[in-house]
């Protein structure tokens, strides 16, 4: 198997930036809503070592090598919802903060790529690397945002769904979090053992074409 080492090395700063800002957004919103947990545990920081999860980071690289669909995860921000005035609303806002941050970053990188499109028409090692870096940044942030909005515990999308549930249903919904790792494993196996993974990759490419009309 031929491995594109330039692409893999380019993933490093992209992953560090994307996952750090994703988790920092969760912690900052929780802090603004009255929860000091993340701050007290040193997680309100731009230091990536505080946010990276070894297995989640490894999954990014493995999927980058063996699949067209790249995904992974960071170390979850600790949140104590009992500090919030409304537990459900607070968790919904905290959950939304991470994906929305990734989508904002994706839009920024898409704008930059479109503005620099004329520069990429002439190939050179430096220009190719710049394009690879910016495109990877766009790709990773789209994947992080979309994947985390899947409404399955413990992903951020489950927090959004929880914000609209009746209280009794919410308590049951939250209790599913304890099975989060098993659910994630089943979800990963399902994606990569069925046509779903290819369909997601195709949808991702279609989205990039819409965001980068100057490049496609």
Dihedral sign, Cα of residue 195, residue 199, residue 204, residue 206: positive
Q: Is residue 121 among the annotated active site residues?
A: no
The closest alpha carbon to 53, from 71, 70, 69, 76, belongs to: 76
Nearest alpha-carbon partner for 99 in 180, 168, 158: 158
| CA distances to 76, 137, 147, 196 from 28, in Å | 13, 22, 21, 34
State the DSSP string of 18-29: HHHHHHHHHHHH
**Can you tell me the distance from the alpha carbon of 12 to that of 20, in angstroms, rounded to the nearest whole number?**
12
How far apart CA 199 and CA 178 sit, in angstroms, is 30
**Candidates 15, 21, 23, 141; catalytic one:** 23
Give the helix, strand, coil percentages of the chain, each rounded to 5: 75, 0, 25
Active-site amino acid positions: 23
């Amino acid at each position: 198997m031929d491995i594109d080492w330039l692409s893999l090395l380019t993933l490093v700063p992209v992953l560090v930036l994307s996952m750090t800002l994703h988790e920092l957004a969760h912690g900052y919103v929780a802090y603004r809503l009255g929860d000091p947990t993340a701050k007290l545990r040193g997680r309100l920081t731009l230091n990536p070592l505080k946010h990276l999860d070894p297995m989640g980071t490894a999954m990014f690289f493995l999927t980058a090598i063996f699949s067209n669909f790249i995904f992974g995860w960071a170390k979850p921000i600790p949140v104590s919802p009992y500090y919030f005035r409304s537990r459900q609303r607070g968790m919904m806002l905290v959950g939304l903060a991470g994906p929305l941050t990734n989508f904002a970053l994706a839009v920024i990188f898409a704008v930059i790529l479109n503005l620099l499109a004329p520069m990429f028409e002439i190939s050179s090692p430096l220009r190719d690397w710049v394009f690879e870096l910016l495109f990877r940044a766009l790709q990773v942030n789209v994947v992080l945002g979309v994947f985390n909005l899947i409404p399955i515990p413990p992903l951020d999308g489950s927090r959004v769904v929880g914000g609209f549930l009746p209280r009794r249903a919410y308590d049951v919904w939250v209790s599913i979090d304890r099975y989060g790792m098993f659910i994630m494993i089943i979800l990963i196996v399902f994606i990569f053992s069925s046509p779903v993974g290819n369909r997601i990759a195709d949808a991702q490419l279609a989205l990039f074409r819409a965001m980068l009309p100057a490049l496609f």
